[in-house]
Amino acid sequence: MIPAAFAYDRPTTVDQAVGLLAAHPGAAKVIAGGQSLLPLLKLRLARAERLIDIGRLSELKGVRRTAEGGVSIGALTTYDELGRDPLITTYGLMADVLPQIGDVQVRNRGTIGGAVAHADPASDMPAVLLALEAELVARSIRGVRTIPMRGFLRGPFVTAIEPDEILTEIRIPAPSGAYGSAYRAIEQPASGYAIAGAAVVVGRSGGGSGPLDRCAVALTGVGEMPYRAAAVEAAFLGAAGPAAAAAHATDGVTVGSDIHADRAYRAAVAAVEVRRALEAAIARAG
Amino acid sequence: MTEAITLVVNGVHHELEVEPRRMLVQVIREDLDLTGTHIGCDTSQCGACTVLVDGQAVKSCTMLAVQADGSSITTIEGMANDGQLHPLQVGFWEKHGLQCGFCTPGMIMAAADLLARNPDPTDQEIRHAIEGNVCRCTGYQNIVAAIREAASLMAAGGTSAGAAG
Ligand SMILES: Cc1cc2nc3c(=O)[nH]c(=O)nc-3n(C[C@H](O)[C@H](O)[C@H](O)COP(=O)(O)OP(=O)(O)OC[C@H]3O[C@@H](n4cnc5c(N)ncnc54)[C@H](O)[C@@H]3O)c2cc1C
Ligand code: FES
Ligand code: FES
């Protein structure tokens, strides 16, 4: 299969890349690792008149610690690079999720920026970043702006990124106090995508041995886009145990149904994965 | 419209003119006549088209040739050295790691990526590393045994994985 013909640019700086996007409004699309875009172009489910290959922009690669103690991830950092970076795998849920995404070939090419920008409703990384309360940095010729992960996803395959913007960076805030995190998912065996996946971060703001008074829970694969499960978080902070809190996993959500999992089954496994992720995160918080 | 690209494939330098929409696998098979790299699904699922790009396993049906410009590529044809089979090829031969052989080039290239990172993998690590490669014949058991055999051959002093290019 061959995509419809397109023009091809490979800018060498982010400035050039956003300049090209602005010069071809509505006609140009960026390509990073191509692990989502190329299959769509080949099947001609998507078309692009012009591809702007940002894959070589070294300014957008790599992980570094920020002055505030969090981490900054370049949008072009691959899953494989993330999985081998101790700044990343120290987050329990990152160590859980990274080896599970796709296969080694996909992880060698697929980038974190591409995963978030693509916003597949069943993809793993957006849920992880929701639970970590990440911020995204987007750049265009109009300037740079920061977008909280919460509010970034607008629907299946729809995000807050404007057509002339490039996602440059993902920032994860420093965890305050003692915390533990985990990711648990049941995957559709052939595609590897989540039927239901749960990302959990729990913490004690004061450290020490007090009660866990912080809780962020995000799900993917369940509704029309990954979401924060506010009802689970409230129940957990109201001292419900993991199982009782997890029972609220799909409160207020229209649960999806497809040939792999009908609505009732998907809702049931969503609750199970939330409970498992909560239990693992609590154990890791110590 | 075509783009000029450079690829070093199995150690041989090539200057090529390619249409941007052509996949790396097409250039490898059609322009360079290296038909050991197979196309199974053409939809990023089966791994038959796996090659090493700068040492990393990649599905060449899911990478544009222009994205590989300037890279070093190793295909199955680049594994044997001077008529001497690569330890992975010996392993597949000795342990009956193939039946029809269609998946084998991709399996071997995925395994080369694994052994370059992890010279002494467990069976579970081997299975995880070939998750992106589908075999319709063997049931995988002998493929795992073949990769394990290659790891021991290499530990005993064979060539290192991912050699050429
Ligand atoms: C076989 C297979 C299995 C997979 N399994 C899983 C899985 O189990 N779980 C999972 O979550 N995902 C899975 N994926 C999807 C994979 O995670 C994504 O394809 C990949 O991470 C996307 O990154 P990319 O760099 O390849 O993006 P590309 O394909 O290059 O781009 C995807 C989209 O994002 C846009 N884009 C990319 N980068 C930027 C940027 N910096 N700024 C603005 N827009 C941008 C592109 O224009 C395009 O629309 C799988 C994919 C394959 C092929
Ligand atoms: S042919 Fe490339 S993955 Fe199947
Ligand atoms: S040996 Fe036939 S597909 Fe693997």
CATH T-level topology, domain B87-156 = DNA polymerase; domain 1 (1.10.150)
- When pLDDT is averaged across residues B99-117 and rounded to a whole number, the result is 98
Of the listed ranges A151-160, A172-181, A222-231, the least confidently predicted one is: A172-181
pLDDT at A175 over 80: no
Is A111 an 8 Å CB contact of chain B? Answer: no
- Residue A211 is predicted with a pLDDT of 86
Closest CA to A281 of A158, A189, A145, A184: A184
> Cα A81–A85–A77 angle (5° rounding)?
35
Q: For chain B, where do the domains classified as CATH 3.10.20.30 start and end?
A: 3-77
Q: Do B67 and A39 touch (CB under 8 A)?
A: no
Q: Tell me the backbone φ, ψ of residue A2, rounded to 5 degrees.
A: -130, 130
Is A12 an 8 Å CB contact of chain B? Answer: no
A179-285: CATH, from 3.30.390.50, 1.10.3720.10, 3.40.50.1000, 3.90.1150.10? 3.30.390.50
Tokens of A103: 């296969």
**Which of the two residues, A117 and A204, has the higher pLDDT score?**
A117
Q: Which residues of B touch A (CB under 8 A)?
A: 1, 3, 19-23, 26, 42-45, 47, 50, 56-59, 62-64, 66-67, 69, 110, 113-114, 128-129, 131-133
What residue ranges do the domains of chain A occupy? 7-53, 58-172, 179-285
Q: For chain B, where do the domains classified as CATH 1.10.150.120 start and end?
A: 87-156
> Cα A279–A119–A96 angle (5° rounding)?
30
* Ligand sitting nearest the alpha carbon of A170: 1
Over residues A269-281, the pLDDT tens digits come to 999 999 999 999 9
- Residue B81 β-bridge partners: B84
CATH code for the part of the protein at B3-77: 3.10.20.30
pLDDT at B20 over 60: yes
Q: Do A108 and B58 touch (CB under 8 A)?
A: yes
Average pLDDT over chain A reads 95
Residue A202: strand, helix, or coil: strand
Among B62, B67, B129, beta carbon nearest to A55? B67
> What is the CATH class of A58-172?
alpha beta
Q: Do A104 and B110 touch (CB under 8 A)?
A: yes
What one-character DSSP code corresponds to residue B77? G
The ipTM estimated for the assembled molecules is 0.94
- When pLDDT is averaged across residues A213-236 and rounded to a whole number, the result is 97
- When pLDDT is averaged across residues B31-42 and rounded to a whole number, the result is 98
- Residue B159 is predicted with a pLDDT of 53
Q: Read off the pLDDT band of A177 (50, 70, 90).
A: confident
CATH T-level topology, domain A7-53 = 3.30.43
Closest CA to A172 of A64, A59, A282: A64
Residue A54: strand, helix, or coil: coil
CA pair distance A282, A111, nearest whole angstrom: 29
Q: Do B62 and A38 touch (CB under 8 A)?
A: yes
C-alpha dihedral (B108, B110, B116, B120), degrees to nearest 10: -80
